[in-house]
Amino acid sequence: MTARLVIMGPQGAGKGTQAARLAERLGVPAISTGDIFRANIKGGTELGVLAQSYTARGDLVPDSVTNDMVRDRLAQGDVEGGFILDGYPRNAAQVTELDAILADRGVALDAVVELTADRDVLLERLARRAELEGREDDTPESIARRLDIYAEQTAPLTTAYAERGLLVRVDGIGAIDEVTERLVAALDDASVPGAV
Ligand code: ADP
């Protein structure tokens, strides 16, 4: 069974955690653009050097860079049986690009999951993550910038996906296991292959 999914949600909603768990359940890779940037920054690659000034400030890396990176990743053999994209698309131009990448490969998305949570819960979780993980972009300024960009550019994309009948909204508040079960049940309701 193939499942091609996008997972969206504001910073702190638990996207990365849930994407990894869901990927394991479905037997598909979770592809996080943020993780790919962080790995490149750590490795000192050309892509990492380019991305770092943007990620540190909480700005989006330019579409020309991000789109090429995603196109390359989605051309790899391990995504043939499906994938979960975490952190992409994040703006309207990236939605268009993802449509083109998938059309070129003759495939389509099965669902777009939106994980929701209130801003006060998000801020609390992000403050805890900043202490635990020490991510360079978990400064108060960068967190505020990312949440603003999410609200302005990313959240509106859910409307477009809802119009296509692809949107599955899941409440991200609660214990990690509880949210995973909710997610799997919601995908099953939406008839996404292989969710249960
Ligand atoms: P968060 O969801 O907490 O912002 P991510 O790990 O998803 O964390 O992303 C970290 C950073 O990587 C972003 O702030 C941005 O600079 C960059 N990035 C990730 N995905 C994209 C994307 N689709 N387009 C542009 N930049 C991106």
- Tell me which DSSP letter residue 191 carries: T
Q: Which residues does 22 contact at the CB level (< 8 Å), separation at least 6? A: 5, 7, 30, 84, 180, 183, 184, 187
CA distance linking residue 160 with residue 123, whole number of Å: 27
Query: What is the model's pLDDT at position 1?
Result: 65
Query: What is the model's pLDDT at position 57?
Result: 95
Query: What is the model's pLDDT at position 195?
Result: 67
66 Cα distance to chain centroid: 13
Query: What is the model's pLDDT at position 191?
Result: 84
**69, 84, 137, 152: which to mutate for ligand 1, most atoms within 8 A of CB?**
137
Residue 90 falls in the annotated catalytic set: yes
Q: 66 CA distance to ligand 1 centroid (A)?
A: 10
Q: Considering 129, 145, 169, 182, which one is annotated as catalytic? A: 129
Query: What is the model's pLDDT at position 133?
Result: 92
Q: Considering 25, 57, 105, 135, which one is annotated as catalytic? A: 135
Tens digit of pLDDT at every position of the chain (196 positions): 689 999 999 999 999 999 999 999 999 999 999 999 999 999 999 999 999 999 999 999 999 999 999 999 999 999 999 999 999 999 999 999 999 999 999 999 999 999 999 999 999 999 999 999 989 999 999 999 999 999 999 999 999 999 999 999 999 999 999 999 999 999 999 988 766 6
Domains of the chain: 3-187 (3.40.50.300)
* pTM, rounded to two decimals: 0.95
Q: 96 CA distance to ligand 1 centroid (A)?
A: 18
* Any atom of ligand 1 within 6 Å of the Cβ of 147: no
For 42, phi then psi, to 5°, come to: -60, -40
Residue 129 falls in the annotated catalytic set: yes
Q: What is the DSSP string of 16-45?
A: HHHHHHHHHHHT--EEEHHHHHHHHHHHT-
Ligand 1 atom at minimum distance from 89 CA: 23
Query: What is the model's pLDDT at position 56?
Result: 95
Which residue in 149, 152, 129 sits closest to 55, CA to CA?
A: 149
